[in-house]
Chains A and B, each alone.
Chain A
Amino acid sequence: MESSDKNTKTSEAPTSIPIQPGLFEYPTPEHSHPALLGSHCQTCGRKFFPRRTLCTNCFVDGRMEELKLNNRAVIYAATVVHIPSPAGIQAPYAYGYVDILTDNIRIFALFTGDNPSSFHSGQEVELVLEPIRTDGQKQQIIGYKFRPV
């Protein structure tokens, strides 16, 4: 009984899971690109990432709509980290802040590509979803990254 439970679990366990639910969506037949998911207040126009339910700008409730962020961004600042992260990411790895084009939102972003040192402010990049590490159950943890256009 126990072992069959285990087997069921193993067979049903996803091979990959997102780092956090609701942060992004995979490409769909309607949208060929992956998208980060934010919120857009229909009263004051303020945009947020990640999603939130209350607009802290105008404090009007129930006026938030889901926003699919533009998949293109410009790097605001970039660095290369040479120590492994406690979250389990191997060094060296590149990250920084990117300004999402047309949405006026700056977000934290990992960078991906052959050369971590090549990223610099002003560079145009685009969103990709990639494994960032493997967890204890050998599941791939999927995060969002940006790569050179």
Chain B
Amino acid sequence: MGKNSRSLDINLDRYDKVTFMQEVYIIGAGMTQFGKHPDRSLRSLGFEACLNALRDAGVKPKEIEAGFCGNALAPAIQGETGVGQNVFWEVGINGVPIVNLENACASGSTALREGWMAVAGGFYDMVAVVGVEKTVMPKGTMLNVGAGEYETKLGEVFPGYFALIAKKHMERYGTTLEQLAMVSVKNHLNGSLNPYAQFQKLLTVDEVLNSPMIAEPLTLYSCCPNSDGAAALILCTEKKAREFMGKKVKIAASVLTTGTYDNERDITGWEVEKRAAEKAYQMASLGPEEVNVMEVHDAFTISEIIHYEGLGLCPPGEGGRLIDQGTTGLTGKIPVNPSGGLLSKGHPVGASGVAQVVEIVWQLRGEAGKRQLKNPRVGLAQIMGGNKEGDTRACTVHILMKD
């Protein structure tokens, strides 16, 4: 099982088997509603998510031996650093090692990976992971991230980079505007079933295509919104998890990769993602056909289509066909972004990577309400962050298994 999956371009023999001291389980998951929270602070949002996760696990703050906090933009937007200490202190986790992690959109998932490594490596029996962000700003405010890069000085913006990728994917593979729009339609349908989602409204293909143009061919509803929110997880060793009465979920793989920034690379796919996926499938000893649910980084519609290809759901270039066939819808063969994804659930940057895993945990435990899938056993979460030289600075893939 799991050797050289039938899906094209996925090679599981390329990497050495990873061994670690402890299996790691998730015994608590919680989040805030994503959206606009103008009257709440980062610590207030982080507090709510941590409290929900601790109560879900039924553990007290004093049982937590270390804390890992993902946040990307607080130093730039709120002028705040050390967010993790603020948040964890608020919920009663103090006196233990606390680490703040920034990896752009992958900040939260990088915090999860660091928490996983700390438990898997035998350093701690139980840790807390939180992702928190507030990116909703007064209308017209511009966030000048990456101001030191010459591309940014020349006027490069995130939607523009993804617009170029979309143009190239359309040119090379015949992917259509309608297929791109259908990703947003699907995710807004899913989000309408998720009380934690920022948008609770359905969209049509025409509404997506006719919304204001941002960067050709991507329109407003092809892009995820700015959001405020937080999400948290409680991780522990297998021994600790056995003492826990609730439903537990095993972290079968945790992988972080960074870009190679190869000049003249093909921008219709991310090698950094394929590499992360292959390592994760190898670590979990399974292939993409054995995954029952995925949460992927749909910051823009084109991104989700390319993630289908990078994660091995279809060969390169066929992502558009997958959305046409309904394969990734709630009732499809492999539902993708049942939570509504970033497009509908919202994108509080540093929180998103943790919130994806919260959704997978809920799906595997059968607690996802109206959007609950039929008995999923294996889930995957993928997110990446930052753009440099047309490549991605960080990509994480986590695979979770129902115990």
| Contact surface of A with B, Cβ cutoff 8 Å | 19-20, 23, 48, 50, 76-87, 89, 93, 95-97, 99, 104-106, 108-110, 117, 121, 132, 143-144
Contact = CB atoms under 8 A, between A and B. Distances in A.
B202 interface: no
B212 interface: yes
22 contacts: A50-B150, A79-B160, A79-B216, A81-B157, A81-B160, A81-B163, A82-B214, A83-B157, A83-B159, A85-B142, A85-B157, A87-B154, A89-B155, A97-B267, A99-B264, A104-B264, A105-B263, A105-B264, A106-B390, A108-B390, A110-B155, A121-B171
Contacts of A50: 150
Given A83-B157, A87-B144, A104-B264, 15 more contacts: A76-B168, A77-B165, A78-B167, A79-B164, A79-B167, A79-B215, A81-B157, A86-B143, A87-B155, A97-B267, A105-B263, A106-B264, A108-B150, A108-B390, A143-B154
Contacts of A79: 160, 163-164, 167, 215-217
Closest 8 A-B residue pairs measured CB to CB? A86-B142, A89-B155, A85-B155, A86-B144, A79-B163, A77-B164, A108-B151, A19-B153
Nearest to A83: B214
A41 to B, nearest CB: 13
B154 A132 contact: yes
Interface string B192-222: 0000000000000000000011111100000
Contact of B153 (A78, A80, A84, A143): A143
Contact of B168 (A77, A80, A82, A84): A77
Nearest to B162: A79
Secondary structure call for the A interface? strand
Contacts of A20: 150, 153
Interface of B: 142-145, 147, 150-157, 159-160, 163-165, 167-168, 171, 212-217, 263-264, 267, 390
A143 B143 CA distance: 21
A19 B264 contact: no
Contacts of A19: 150, 153-154
Contacts of A23: 150
Contacts of A86: 142-145, 147, 152, 157
Contacts of A117: 216
Nearest to B167: A77
Contacts of B147: 86-87
Contacts of B167: 77-79, 121
Given A82-B212, A83-B159, A96 B164 contact: yes
Nearest to B151: A108
A146 B171 CA distance: 22
B168 A93 contact: no
B150 A85 contact: no
Contacts of B390: 97, 106, 108
A17 B224 CA distance: 36
